C-alpha cells in the first residue's frame, strides 16, 4: 500500500485519542470500539473484531462494521479457534487460512484478514482481526500499523483488568474490615483516622463518619493506660524507623481502660502495626482493638479467688490448730467447760472448712457441667422451719420466724439444693445484720408460682450492687460488709440452683433498713 504523508498523522491522531481514552478510564468496551474503528479505517478494512481470551476460548469483546444481527455469527466461529495458535510459520499460516474461511462464511466479500495477538508482557490477552474485501496477503506495513493499535487495545484491557482486580481487592478488604469482630482502624501518617470499622464503632460509640478525619488521640482516650507507650509520642520519636540499636519495635501493644463517647469505660488491648515505604517512612498505622473485659474479669476472679480462699482457709485452720494445741497441752489441766468450749469451736470451724470446700467444688463443677437436679416433692415451709431451728441455736441477737399459710403448695424440686439456698439466705441474713434484729422467712403463691423471701434488718446493700452480689466471688466492697467472713460464692450457687429450677432470685433493700432476698419457682405439676 502506498503511504500518503497524512497517513502517519492520522495514525498518530488516532493513537493519541485512544491513549487519552485509556487514561480517562473510559469504559473498556468504548475504548476497544475506538481502537477497532481507527484500525479498520487505517487498514481500509470492512470489519474489525477484538476477541479476548477467557481461559481456553476466545470471546468477541468488540466488533465494528458488522450489523448487530450478524455479530453472533462471529461469536460462533471464534469458538472454533484454538486458544494458542502456535508460533511456527506453518502454524501461523494455517491459523490465517482458517480465519479467512471463517470470515468468508459470514460474508463472502471478506477475503483477507489481518490478525495480531494483543499481548502485555508475554501474556496474550486476545486477538485483533481486521477483515478486508480484497484478496492477497497483508503486507508488513499492514502488520506494523495494526500492531500499534493492538498494543493500545492490550494496554486498555490490561488496565481494566488491573483496575477490576484492585477494586475487588478493595471491596474484599472492606468486607473483612467490616465483618471483623475486632475493632480495626487505619490511621494516616499524621495519625488521623482513615478507616474505622463497625466493630470499633460498636466498642467506642464513635460512628465511622464521626471518627474519620479526627486525630487518634481525640477518639482513643485512655481513662487509664496500664501497659504500653503512647502512640503519638512513639511516632514523634520516629517509630517505626529502626534505631541503630534495633530496639524500635515493629508493633506497639497498649492496654487499659478506654473512655467511650458516652463517658463509659471499656477495657481494651490495642496492637498498632506500621506500614512503611521503602525508605522506612510511615504510610499508615493499622490498629487492632480487642475488647478484653472478659479476660480482665477472669484475671480479677483468679486473684480474688486466691485471696478469698487463702484467707477463708487460713482462719479456721488457725483456730482449729490453736484450740487443738491448747487442749492437748500436758501441763494444763482444763476443766470440762473449757474443753467443751474448745471442742465446739473446733467442730464449728471444721464445719466451716467443709462448707467452704463444698462450695468451691460446687462452683467449679457448676462451671464444668452445669447444675444437675434430682426432683422430688418439696415443702418449702418445712425447709424454712428446719433452717430456722438450726440457725436459731447459733444466735441470741436475732429472732428468726417463718410465715407461711397452711395451704402453701408442695412443689416439684430438688430438696437438697433448695435447702442449701434457704440456709444460705438465712445465714447471710444473720451475718449481715451484726446488730441483730428480726429475720422473717415468708411465702406467697399464685396458681403457677411460689415465692419465698428472707427479710432482715441488717446493713442492706448499696443499690447499684443488688444484682452483682449474685456473681461468682462477688462481695460488697464496704467495711461493714467485709467485717463478715465469706467467699462470695453462696449467692452465686443459690442463683444457679434457682435458675436450674426455672425460677429467679433477686435482692431488694427494705424501706426501713435491711435487705430482702426473694426467689420464685414454678409450681410444676
- Over the window 384 to 423, marking each residue x when it contacts ligand ADP by CB under 6 A and - when it does not, the resulting string is ----------------------------------------
- Measuring CA to CA, which residue among 130, 154, 155, 127 is closest to residue 1? 130
Q: Does 489 bind ligand ADP (CB under 6 A)?
A: yes
For Cα atoms 35, 36, 41, give the angle at the middle one, nearest 5 degrees.
105
For the bound state, the minimum distance from the C-beta of residue 378 to ligand ADP, rounded and expressed in Å, comes to: 22
Q: Does 487 bind ligand ADP (CB under 6 A)?
A: yes
Q: What is the DSSP string of 377-436?
A: EE-HHHHHHHHHHHHHTT-SSEEEEEE--TTPPPEEE-HHHHHHHHHHHHHHHHHT-TT-
- Closer of 428 and 453 to ligand ADP (Cβ): 428
| Residue 364 φ/ψ, nearest 5 degrees | -75, -30
Q: Does 316 bind ligand ADP (CB under 6 A)?
A: no
Half-sphere exposure of 233 (CA within 13 A, CB side): 5
Would you put residue 445 in left (φ > 0), alpha (ψ -120 to 50) or beta? beta
User: Rule CB under 6 A: which of 418-447 touch ligand ADP?
Assistant: 424, 428-429, 432
**Choice from 48, 138, 183, 486 touching ligand ADP (CB under 6 A):** 486
Contact indicator for 137, 155 with CB cutoff of 8 Å: no
Residue nearest to ligand ADP (CB): 486
Would you put residue 64 in left (φ > 0), alpha (ψ -120 to 50) or beta? beta
Judged by CB under 6 A, the stretch of 239-247, 251-259, 415-423, 484-492 that binds ligand ADP is 484-492
- Closer of 206 and 492 to ligand ADP (Cβ): 492
For the bound state, the minimum distance from the C-beta of residue 457 to ligand ADP, rounded and expressed in Å, comes to: 10
- Closer of 149 and 492 to ligand ADP (Cβ): 492
Q: In this structure, how many other beta carbons lie within 10 angstroms of the beta carbon of residue 245?
A: 6
- Closer of 120 and 350 to ligand ADP (Cβ): 350
Alpha-carbon distance 516 to 498, whole Å? 16
Burial of 294 (0-12, 13-18, 19+ CB in 10 A): exposed
For the bound state, the minimum distance from the C-beta of residue 393 to ligand ADP, rounded and expressed in Å, comes to: 20
- Closer of 151 and 495 to ligand ADP (Cβ): 495
- Closer of 204 and 487 to ligand ADP (Cβ): 487
Judged by CB under 6 A, the stretch of 33-41, 140-148, 264-272, 451-459 that binds ligand ADP is 451-459
For the bound state, the minimum distance from the C-beta of residue 397 to ligand ADP, rounded and expressed in Å, comes to: 15
H/E element holding 170? helix 140-179
User: Rule CB under 6 A: which of 161-220 touch ligand ADP?
Assistant: none
Contact indicator for 88, 97 with CB cutoff of 8 Å: no
Spell out the long-range contacts of 516-519 with Cβ–Cβ below 8 A and sequence spacing 24 or more: 516/453, 516/454, 516/455, 516/456, 517/425, 517/428, 517/429, 517/453, 517/454, 517/491, 518/451, 518/452, 518/453, 518/454, 519/421, 519/451, 519/452, 519/494
User: Rule CB under 6 A: which of 496-515 touch ligand ADP?
Assistant: 515
With a CB cutoff of 8 Å and minimum separation 6, the contacts of 394 are 430
- Over the window 464 to 483, marking each residue x when it contacts ligand ADP by CB under 6 A and - when it does not, the resulting string is -----x----xxx----x--
| Residue 244 φ/ψ, nearest 5 degrees | -60, -30
- Closer of 197 and 424 to ligand ADP (Cβ): 424
Q: Are strands 437-445 and 398-403 parallel, antiparallel or unpaired?
A: parallel
For Cα atoms 161, 162, 164, give the angle at the middle one, nearest 5 degrees.
65
For the bound state, the minimum distance from the C-beta of residue 469 to ligand ADP, rounded and expressed in Å, comes to: 4
Count of residues that interact with ligand ADP, criterion CB under 6 A:
22
**Choice from 138, 240, 488, 503 touching ligand ADP (CB under 6 A):** 488
- Closer of 264 and 510 to ligand ADP (Cβ): 510
- Over the window 252 to 271, marking each residue x when it contacts ligand ADP by CB under 6 A and - when it does not, the resulting string is --------------------
With a CB cutoff of 8 Å and minimum separation 6, the contacts of 376 are 412, 413, 414, 415
For the bound state, the minimum distance from the C-beta of residue 454 to ligand ADP, rounded and expressed in Å, comes to: 7
For the bound state, the minimum distance from the C-beta of residue 332 to ligand ADP, rounded and expressed in Å, comes to: 35
For the bound state, the minimum distance from the C-beta of residue 358 to ligand ADP, rounded and expressed in Å, comes to: 13
- Closer of 12 and 314 to ligand ADP (Cβ): 314
Residues of this chain that interact with ligand ADP (CB under 6 A) are 424, 428-429, 432, 456, 458-461, 469, 474-476, 481, 486-492, 515
Amino acid at each position: 500500500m502506498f503511504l500518503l504523508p497524512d497517513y502517519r498523522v492520522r495514525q498518530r491522531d488516532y493513537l493519541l485519542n485512544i491513549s487519552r481514552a485509556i487514561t480517562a478510564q473510559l469504559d473498556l468496551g468504548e475504548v476497544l470500539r475506538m481502537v477497532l474503528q481507527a484500525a479498520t479505517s487505517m487498514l481500509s478494512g470492512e470489519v474489525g473484531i477484538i476477541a479476548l481470551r477467557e481461559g481456553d476460548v476466545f470471546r468477541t469483546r468488540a466488533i465494528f462494521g458488522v450489523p448487530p444481527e450478524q455479530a453472533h455469527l462471529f461469536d460462533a466461529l471464534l469458538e472454533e479457534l484454538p486458544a494458542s495458535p502456535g508460533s511456527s510459520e506453518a502454524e501461523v499460516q494455517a491459523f490465517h487460512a482458517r480465519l479467512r474461511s471463517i470470515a468468508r462464511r459470514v460474508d463472502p466479500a471478506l477475503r483477507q484478514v489481518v490478525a495480531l495477538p494483543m499481548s502485555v508482557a508475554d501474556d496474550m490477552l486476545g486477538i485483533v482481526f481486521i477483515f478486508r474485501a480484497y484478496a492477497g496477503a497483508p503486507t508488513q506495513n499492514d502488520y506494523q500499523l495494526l500492531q500499534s493499535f493492538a498494543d493500545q487495545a492490550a494496554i486498555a484491557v490490561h488496565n481494566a483488568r488491573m483496575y477490576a482486580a484492585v477494586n475487588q481487592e478493595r471491596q474484599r478488604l472492606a468486607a473483612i474490615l467490616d465483618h471483623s469482630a475486632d475493632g480495626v482502624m487505619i490511621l494516616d501518617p499524621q495519625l488521623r483516622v482513615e478507616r474505622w470499622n463497625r466493630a470499633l464503632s460498636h466498642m467506642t460509640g464513635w460512628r465511622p463518619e464521626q471518627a474519620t478525619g479526627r486525630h487518634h488521640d481525640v477518639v482513643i482516650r485512655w481513662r487509664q493506660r496500664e501497659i504500653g507507650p503512647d502512640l503519638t509520642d512513639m511516632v514523634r520519636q520516629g517509630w517505626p524507623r529502626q534505631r541503630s540499636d534495633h530496639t524500635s519495635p515493629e508493633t506497639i501493644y497498649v492496654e487499659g481502660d478506654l473512655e467511650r463517647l458516652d463517658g463509659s469505660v471499656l477495657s481494651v488491648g490495642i496492637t498498632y502495626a506500621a506500614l512503611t515505604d521503602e525508605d522506612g517512612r510511615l504510610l499508615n498505622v493499622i490498629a487492632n482493638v480487642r475488647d478484653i473485659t472478659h479476660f480482665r474479669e477472669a484475671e480479677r476472679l483468679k486473684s480474688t479467688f486466691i485471696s478469698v480462699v487463702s484467707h477463708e482457709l487460713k482462719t479456721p485452720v488457725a483456730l482449729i490448730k490453736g484450740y487443738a494445741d491448747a487442749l492437748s497441752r500436758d501441763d494444763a489441766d482444763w476443766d470440762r467447760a473449757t474443753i467443751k468450749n474448745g471442742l465446739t469451736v473446733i467442730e464449728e470451724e471444721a464445719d466451716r472448712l467443709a462448707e467452704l470446700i463444698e462450695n468451691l467444688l460446687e462452683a467449679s463443677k457448676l462451671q464444668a457441667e452445669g447444675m444437675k437436679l434430682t426432683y422430688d416433692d418439696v415443702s418449702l415451709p418445712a425447709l424454712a422451719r428446719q433452717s430456722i431451728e438450726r440457725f436459731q441455736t447459733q444466735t441470741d441477737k436475732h429472732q428468726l420466724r417463718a410465715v407461711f399459710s397452711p395451704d402453701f403448695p408442695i412443689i416439684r424440686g430438688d430438696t437438697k439444693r433448695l435447702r442449701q439456698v434457704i440456709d444460705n439466705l438465712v445465714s447471710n441474713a444473720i451475718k449481715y445484720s451484726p446488730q441483730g434484729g428480726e429475720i422473717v422467712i415468708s411465702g406467697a403463691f399464685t396458681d403457677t408460682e411460689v415465692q419465698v423471701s428472707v427479710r432482715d434488718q441488717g446493713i442492706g446493700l448499696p443499690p447499684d450492687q443488688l444484682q452483682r452480689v449474685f456473681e461468682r466471688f462477688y462481695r460488697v466492697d464496704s467495711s461493714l460488709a467485709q467485717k463478715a467472713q465469706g467467699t462470695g460464692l453462696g449467692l452465686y450457687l443459690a442463683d444457679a440452683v434457682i435458675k436450674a429450677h426455672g425460677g429467679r432470685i433477686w435482692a431488694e433493700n427494705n424501706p426501713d433498713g435491711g435487705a430482702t432476698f426473694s426467689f420464685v419457682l414454678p409450681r410444676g405439676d
